[in-house]
Amino acid sequence: QVVLDGWLQLQASQAGAELAYSPEEAEQEDEGPKWSRTLRASIEKWLQLLPVEAVKAEAVTGDDPIQRCIAREVVLAGSILKKVRGDLSRVYKCLSGEEQTTNDVRELLASLRTSSLPASWRKHHAVPPKMKVDPWIGDLLQRLTKLAELVSACAASGSLGASTVWLGGLFQPGAFLTATRQWTARVKSVALESMKLTVSVGAGSKPDETTFSVDGAFLYGARLGEGDQCLVPGGSQSVPMPVLQFRWLVPAEGTEEGRSEIPIYLTSERGEVFAAVDMKVQAAAAAPSLCWYEWGAAIALWAEP
């Protein structure tokens, strides 16, 4: 009798479990495991966020070094966007059972399932090693948007003009800096190697066509003083910087007193030095450049949102 009672209880519990398993849950199981459904929803969101196409290179018509550089930037942006959208679409179709899974898709799935950035996406521009996919997609969208704005400004004026550039948001910021150096050497009729890069804080008025406005930078290991016009030692947190004015100067043009060499890095990770520039520092804190390096004073052109 005890065995019979136990068997009846087991049947009753199984029947209850079957009743608790709703048709909706059964349908979800047919659509795949939970991680697959979650990833498909994320991919749908990312594809909606990203534009179908990037701005066209034909929109940049100038033939000076800077505009040629921007045109190459546009081509690269288009190839990156095409790569990312293509990869996301392939993964989505495989998860939906529309296509067979390939080795490439398996590698993408291994990364995207854990929100890690695929290696094939990381190689195009500098980002922190541990950056996740969702903020990376948001950053890519911001880069594409800013680039489109820059191209529109150049197309309207026929040159870079007074446009402000998010240098850290370019896919090839080093190429842009080189282009500004080439342009300045052409305008001033001087040798490339004879010039040194200087940076001033604040928009102010652009002195000439060889001054380039840069925004989106952050200051580390120092503060802004004297009406945000110079650097002051100290500061444990990063500080968003006003617009910076980049200029290539030759020795004959002279430099202001009270300036020190400050390193610029591409990202807030502060890996390799991107450039070393002369910047104005507070008179009372004037010290050899080595001291500013020891204090950790630096500028990062990009920081993770």
pLDDT of residue 6: 46
For residues 280 and 201, the answer to whether their CB atoms sit within 8 Å is yes
Mean pLDDT of 90-98: 92
Q: Is the pLDDT of residue 106 over 90?
A: yes
Report which of residues 289 and 150 the model is more confident about. Answer: 150
pLDDT of residue 154: 82
* pTM as predicted: 0.83
Tokens coding 15? 């029947």
211 strand-pairing partners: 247
pLDDT of residue 86: 96
pLDDT digits (tens, 9 = 90+) for 179-229: 999 999 999 899 998 899 999 887 655 567 888 999 999 999 888 886 767
For residues 34 and 97, the answer to whether their CB atoms sit within 8 Å is no
pLDDT of residue 251: 75
For residues 86 and 185, the answer to whether their CB atoms sit within 8 Å is no
pLDDT of residue 256: 63
User: Exposed, middle or buried, 293 (CB in 10 Å: 0-12/13-18/19+)?
Assistant: middle
pLDDT of residue 285: 58
Q: d(Cα 209, Cα 117) in Å, to the nearest integer?
A: 40
Q: d(Cα 143, Cα 87) in Å, to the nearest integer?
A: 19
Mean pLDDT of 115-139: 91
Other residues' Cβ atoms within 10 Å of the Cβ of residue 214: 23
Q: Which residues of 86-110 are buried (b: 16+ CB within 10 A; e: fewer)?
A: ebbebbbebbeeeeeeeeebeebbe
pLDDT of residue 245: 92
- Which H, E and C letters describe 149-169, residue by residue? HHHHHHHHHCCCCCCEECHHH
Q: What does each C-alpha distance from 264 to 183, 205, 210, 273, 305 come to in angstroms? A: 21, 23, 20, 6, 19
Q: What does each C-alpha distance from 44 to 47, 72, 88, 251 come to in angstroms? A: 5, 29, 9, 55
Other residues' Cβ atoms within 10 Å of the Cβ of residue 196: 16
pLDDT of residue 38: 93
Q: List the 239-240 sheet strands across, edge first.
A: 164-165, 211-214, 244-249, 196-201, 273-280, 259-265, 298-300, 218-220, 239-240
pLDDT of residue 42: 95
Q: Is the pLDDT of residue 274 over 70?
A: yes
């240098």: which residue's tokens? 167
